[in-house]
Each structure stands twice: as C-alpha cells, then as structure tokens.
Structure 1
Amino acid sequence: MEYSLAMTFVTTSGDKVSMTITDVKSNITEVEASALMDTIIAKDIFLTKSGSLASKYGAQLTQRQSTKLDVQ
C-alpha cells in the first residue's frame, strides 16, 4: 500500500494552500505531521501566489491500494 500526507496551510494573505508528500510511512502520527508542518513554516522556503505559509490548517493521511490484473 502507498501512503501520502496532504497538508493544508494558510498563507500570509489568508488563502489556503495544500501540498502532498507521497510514500510516507503508514504509522505517521499527528505529532510528527504537526512537527513537519511547523518546520516547513519556520524554514519559509515555499512561496505561493498568495504569499508565504503562515500557519497550519489541517493534514490528512491517505492510503492507496492497487491490485495489478493479469489480462493477457
């Protein structure tokens, strides 16, 4: 199974911006996700059309499972 972490931030202008990280570990905790988001905000390396990331809005861990079909 593949897991991804979608994080939503609020920018300095008040807009919401999301980013997704794929292939995260399946047992990532809320504390770890929150700490990652805090680090992303503190480092201020992402600039969006509506400004820098200012605060956390939410996060979501998504699980994706695919089954390969043999259709010869």
Structure 2
Amino acid sequence: MEYTLTLTFVNSAGDKSNLTISGAKAGVTKDEVNSLMDTIIAKDVFENKGASLVSKYGAQITQRQTTKFDL
C-alpha cells in the first residue's frame, strides 16, 4: 500500500498552496501532521508564488493499492 500526504497551506498573499509527500508512513497521526506543518511554517523554507507559507488550511492522506494481474 502506498500513502501520499497532501498538506495545504495559506501563503502571505492569501492563496492556497499544496505540498505533497509521497511515501508517507502508514498510520500517520493528526498530531504528527500538525507538528510537521508548524515546523514547515516556522522554518519558512518554502514559498509559493514568491510568498511565504503562513498558516495551515488542511491535510489529507491518500491510500493507494495496486493489484497487478499476470496475463
């Protein structure tokens, strides 16, 4: 099973910005996601359209399962 974590932030211009992390661990918790997003905002390493990420908007984890068939 593959997990993708999508974090949505609001930048200083008021626009929404997504950061997608492939290969997220199974069972990631709300507290871990909150902590990660707080750290990303505090470190101010990412920009979106030249504007810093300033607040959290939302997050979701997507689970993908692939079944291959031998034909």
TM-score by length of 1: 0.94
After TM superposition, where is structure 1 displaced by more than 6 Å over at least 4 residues in a row?
none
Matches within 5 A, 1:1-72: 1-49=1-49, 51-71=51-71
**Separation of aligned partners in 2, 1:57 and 1:50:** 19
The AA in structure 1 aligned to 2:10 is V
* SS of residue paired to 1:66: coil
Q: How many percent identity over aligned positions?
A: 58
What are the Cα deviations for residues 28-54 of structure 1, in whole angstroms up to 9, with x where unaligned?
000000100000111101111050000
How far apart are the structure 2 equivalents of 1:17 and 1:66? Answer: 28
Structure 2 stretches lacking a partner, 5+ long: none
Q: TM-score, normalised by structure 2?
A: 0.95
Alignment size in residue pairs:
71
- Letter matched to residue 61 of structure 2: L
Q: C-alpha offsets along residues 43-66 of structure 1, whole Å, 9 cap, x if unaligned?
A: 101111050000000000110000
User: Aligned AA for 1:30?
Assistant: K
